Amino acid sequence: MTQLTKPMRDVHAQAEAALRGAAARAGGAIGLLARAGYAAKGVVYCLVGGLALLAAVGSGGRTTGSRGALRSLLDQPYGLAILAVVAIGLAAYAVWCFLRAVLDADRKGSDGRGLAKRAVTFGKGVVYAALVVAVVGMMRGTGGRGDDAGVRDWTARLMSFPLGIWLVGLTGVAVVVFGLRQLYCAKAADVDEPLDLGQMGVTAHHWARQFSRFGLAARGVVFAVVGVFLVTAARHENPAEARGVGGALHALQERSYGSALLAAVALGLIAYGCYQFVLVRYRRFDPT
């Protein structure tokens, strides 16, 4: 067994070294890729938050997730061209997530905890790659169903498998935990870690911290609500009770003082979008 394991480790080390060498040679291109990705992600969050804020104050708008928000661009002048640019940026962000996970650009390590964090980053890449596919469908006029309908569809599909009810429930618990983790990070995380502080002035640093913490808190609330809906759908064995981001925002609006609550969360999502623009300018990039 040992004789087999050592060659396998050597092959893994050689492959990793080759990948890091390629990343080093393409460092400038990867940095550009990442910046384009953060810019597109910022646009998405600002759109979702902006539409929710308008709904909260009664000035039009609506509670929707990323797909619905991006679809709204088609109603604007040059909307198709704008959507195409955003799609390219989202594809860039997906690739950047894959590179971060494979190359450990964030220095998470290869122990159990580090691999788990890298797996989450890889999962983000999958989510944004799926969003790119959806956006391409919108551009072709075959965008399919909205965010909530999509969540209900995959919930129903998952429930059809053996132990599917449990899988949906566990997924919901995981999403709730992720949301609570975001709330914790809003208070305790080192939000300066990815930033090149040497390039930032005092004012930029101050607002970057505020945008980051406020945005993480808003994301935490939204994801926790989405997770609760998934758990509820599993408990009742009813996929129709599952909701996505748009449904979670609408649920907040239906609560007591819902308009104020929705407005606060919407502003937080906009703040998170603004923080992505901060990352475009000030994030440190070291893919190797």
Q: DSSP states of 27-43 as a string? A: HHHHHHHHHHHHHHHHH
Q: What's the confidence (pLDDT) of residue 230?
A: 96
Read off the pTM.
0.85
Q: What's the confidence (pLDDT) of residue 150?
A: 85
Q: What's the confidence (pLDDT) of residue 198?
A: 82
Q: What's the confidence (pLDDT) of residue 146?
A: 72
Residues ≥6 apart with Cβ < 8 Å to 227: 172, 173, 174, 175, 176, 177, 178, 179
Q: Among positive and negative, which fits the CA dihedral 165, 170, 176, 182?
A: negative
Residues ≥6 apart with Cβ < 8 Å to 231: 169, 172, 173, 176
Tokens 């910046």 belong to which residue? 35
Interatomic CA distance for residues 27 and 70, integer angstroms:
30
Provide the residue-wise pLDDT of the chain in tens; the chain has 288 residues. Answer: 444 465 655 555 555 555 555 555 555 688 899 999 999 999 999 999 999 999 999 888 899 999 999 999 988 889 899 999 999 999 999 999 998 888 887 778 888 888 888 999 999 999 999 999 999 999 888 765 678 888 999 999 999 999 999 999 999 999 999 999 999 999 998 888 888 888 888 998 999 999 999 999 999 999 999 999 999 999 999 999 999 999 999 999 998 888 999 999 999 999 999 999 999 999 887 655
Interatomic CA distance for residues 185 and 167, integer angstroms:
26
- Cα–Cα distance list, 165 to 159, 180, 231, 241, 254 (Å): 5, 23, 9, 13, 27
Q: What's the confidence (pLDDT) of residue 273?
A: 97
Torsion region of 152: left, alpha or beta (phi above 0 gives left; psi -120 to 50 gives alpha)? alpha
Interatomic CA distance for residues 4 and 199, integer angstroms:
48
Q: What's the confidence (pLDDT) of residue 90?
A: 96
Q: H helices within 104-201, ranges in order? A: 112-139, 147-159, 164-188
Contact between 89 and 128 (Cβ < 8 Å): no
Q: Among positive and negative, which fits the CA dihedral 35, 36, 41, 42?
A: positive
According to DSSP, the residues that pair with 195 across neighbouring strands are 283
Give φ, ψ of 195 to 5 degrees: -95, 145
For helices 202-236 and 147-159, the axis angle rounded to 10 degrees is 50
Q: Which of 144, 141, 142, 171 is nearest to 155 (CA)?
A: 171
Q: What's the confidence (pLDDT) of residue 130?
A: 92
